[in-house]
């Protein structure tokens, strides 16, 4: 049975007032000024093994489920890592190459009434196959049944990098899969713009069926007239390394890793009919890729971007909707793996997107997580799970992270003076062989 589609709210600009988010019930919250925010990160646990994703079901248990790249999912409860893994499919996962591994996790929206979850991984057999599968709980709620795997969709991946691998359920109850372009520098197979392949796309699937999946009737290409696969929701992505839905508005935020110049964030408003084309590889960010000019007709450009002075691999996050830090509500937080810079993004009273640098982490920020209460977390290649907190809150938790001056990314209205010495930022510090780079093409330049 299909989930009944939820009514979705939109962002509105109220004349004479700050931009506000309009909820389904009609209440409002002011959008924050990114330039006024400062965040820091407080350790929750250390000693994780290359954590790359986190999920938390809305089941009242307050458990955090952390995905370790080699093929395990572990439970963090009350600041401790449970001794027994929730799921261990290490023998099925190919994780030797830098960007391969167990990459994503999403619990069914009706969990635990529907006691299943979805994972994404690259398989050992066939080698490197990108695989999205569904698993079920075992008799113990802290343990999944590794024998319950039910394949949803899979395909051979031509190269070891740009595997995508994130999974998320939308407010409509459908499963959204962000896929990489197949790897290699510059999308040599031009998969991002080829509607006949699932590579370089956002897919939208209904998994509440007896079949592995069904295509929702309102997907944008179901009539086949455009020659595009009907599973496709959006085109023109390079390697969407983390995307999320605003828990209040339903807007979809997609962070797409760039090639040699620009990292980007795209936003699809709630209620969109789909079918957007985010431009790769005609565009890299807001610039033509590999050419002085290009045809931008029908392309959707990012709302935010930054260049190589500020980082080299974007890590998408979430819009903060928690209650612990009211000043952060409504800001989208994301980071860069290479510099550990953390940004906040929001619209101003004129409806223009503004971003500011609001903090700096360490250890290689690989992913963000959101718990059932809307609080945000950061995962690092060094093995840390950190709580993202408002550094300006009364009696903020102590931190050893520097307190940087916020900066605006290229192409956006500046909210503060640029950092005069970007080379002073720390680079990721990881154990030998533990670095996880979602963009790795070999030499970047």
Domain membership flag for residue 371: yes
Distances (CA, A) of 232 to 49, 152, 215: 33, 15, 9
Domain hosting residue 154, numbered range: 33-424
Domain membership flag for residue 3: no
d(C-alpha 379, C-alpha 51), whole Å: 6
pLDDT at res. 425: 34
pLDDT at res. 437: 53
Successive 10-residue mean pLDDT values, the chain, 445 residues: 31 30 42 96 97 97 97 97 97 92 98 97 95 96 97 95 96 98 95 97 97 98 92 98 97 97 98 97 97 97 97 98 96 98 95 96 97 97 98 69 34 31 35 44 36
d(C-alpha 387, C-alpha 402), whole Å: 16
**Residues 40, 41, 46: CA angle, nearest 5 degrees:** 165
pLDDT at res. 193: 97
pLDDT at res. 118: 98
d(C-alpha 368, C-alpha 435), whole Å: 16
Domain membership flag for residue 20: no
pLDDT at res. 1: 33
Domain membership flag for residue 142: yes
d(C-alpha 33, C-alpha 24), whole Å: 23
Structure-token pair, residue 207: 């998994």
**Are the beta carbons of 154 and 123 closer than 8 angstroms?**
yes
pLDDT at res. 226: 87
pLDDT at res. 432: 35
HEC assignment per residue over the chain: CCCCCCCCCCEECCCCCCCEEECCCCCEEECCCHHHCCEEEEEEECCCCCEEEEECCCCCCCCEEEEECCCEEEEEECCEECCCCCEECHHHECCCCCCCCEEEEEECCCCCCCCEEEEEEEECCCCCCEEEEEEEECCCCCCEEEEEEEEEEEECCCCCCCCCCEEEECCCCCEEEECCCCCCCCCCCCCCCCCCCCCCCEEEEECCCCCCCECCCCCCCCCCCCCCCCCEEEECCCCEEEEEECCCCCCEEEEECCCCCEEEEEEECCCCCCCCECCCCCEECCEECCCCCCCCCCCCCCCEEEECCCCCCEEEEEECCCCCCHHHCCCEEEEECCCCEEEEEEECCCCCEEEEEEEECCCCEEEEEECCCCCEEEEECCCCEEEEEECCCCCCCCCCCCCCCCCCCCCCCCCCCCCCCHHHCCCCCCCCCCCCCCCCCCCCC
Domain membership flag for residue 10: no
The CATH number of the domain holding residue 61 is 2.120.10.30
d(C-alpha 151, C-alpha 132), whole Å: 6
pLDDT at res. 16: 29
Domain membership flag for residue 156: yes
Based on the structure, what is the number of domains in the chain? Answer: 1
Domain membership flag for residue 443: no
* Closest to 18 (Cα-Cα) out of 318, 323, 334, 346: 346
d(C-alpha 399, C-alpha 192), whole Å: 41
Domain membership flag for residue 430: no
Say how many residues make up the chain. Answer: 445
* Closest to 284 (Cα-Cα) out of 166, 436, 197, 411: 411
Q: Please list, in sequence order, all residues whose beta carbon lies within 8 angstroms of the beta carbon of residue 361, skipping any fewer than 6 positions away.
A: 41, 335, 340, 342, 378, 380, 386, 401
d(C-alpha 120, C-alpha 336), whole Å: 22
- Residue 84 forms beta bridges with which residues? none
């Amino acid at each position: 049975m299909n989930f009944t589609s939820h009514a979705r709210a939109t962002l509105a600009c109220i004349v004479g007032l700050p931009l506000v988010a309009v909820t389904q019930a009609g209440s409002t919250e002011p959008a924050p000024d990114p330039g006024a925010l400062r965040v820091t990160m407080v350790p929750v646990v250390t000693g994780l093994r290359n954590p790359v994703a986190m999920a938390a079901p809305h089941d009242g248990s307050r458990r955090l489920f952390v995905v370790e790249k080699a093929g395990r999912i572990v439970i963090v409860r009350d600041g401790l890592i449970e001794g027994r893994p929730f799921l261990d499919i290490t023998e099925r996962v190919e994780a030797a190459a830098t960007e391969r591994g167990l990459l994503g996790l999403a619990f069914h929206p009706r969990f635990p009434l529907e006691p299943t979850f979805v994972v994404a991984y690259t398989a050992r057999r066939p080698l490197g196959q990108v695989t999205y599968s569904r698993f079920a709980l075992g008799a113990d709620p802290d343990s999944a049944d590794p024998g319950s795997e039910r394949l949803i969709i899979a395909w051979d991946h031509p190269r070891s990098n740009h595997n995508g691998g994130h999974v998320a359920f939308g407010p409509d109850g459908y499963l959204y899969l962000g896929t990489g372009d197949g790897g290699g520098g510059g999308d040599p197979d031009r998969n991002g713009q080829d509607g006949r392949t699932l590579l370089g796309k956002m897919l939208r699937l209904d998994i509440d069926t007896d079949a592995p999946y069904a295509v929702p009737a309102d997907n944008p290409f179901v009539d086949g007239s455009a020659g595009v696969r009907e599973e496709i929701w959006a085109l023109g992505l390079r390697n969407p390394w983390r995307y999320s839905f605003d828990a209040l508005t339903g807007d979809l935020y997609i962070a797409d890793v760039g090639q040699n110049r620009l990292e980007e964030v795209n936003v699809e408003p709630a209620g969109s009919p789909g079918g957007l084309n985010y431009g790769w590889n005609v565009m890299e960010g807001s610039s033509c890729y590999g050419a002085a000019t290009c045809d931008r007709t029908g392309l959707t450009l990012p709302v935010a971007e930054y260049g190589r002075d500020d980082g080299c691999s974007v890590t998408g996050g979430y819009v903060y909707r928690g209650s612990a830090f009211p000043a952060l509500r409504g800001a989208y937080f994301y980071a860069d793996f290479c510099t550990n810079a953390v940004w906040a993004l929001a619209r101003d009273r004129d409806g223009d997107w503004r971003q500011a640098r609001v903090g700096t982490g360490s250890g290689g920020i690989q992913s963000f997580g959101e718990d059932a209460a809307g609080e945000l977390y950061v995962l690092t290649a060094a093995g840390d799970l950190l709580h993202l907190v408002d550094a300006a809150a009364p009696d903020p938790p102590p931190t050893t992270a520097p307190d940087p001056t916020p900066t605006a990314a290229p192409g956006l209205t500046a909210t503060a003076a640029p950092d005069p010495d970007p080379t002073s930022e720390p680079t990721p510090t990881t154990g030998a062989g533990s670095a996880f780079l979602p963009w790795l093409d070999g030499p970047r330049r």
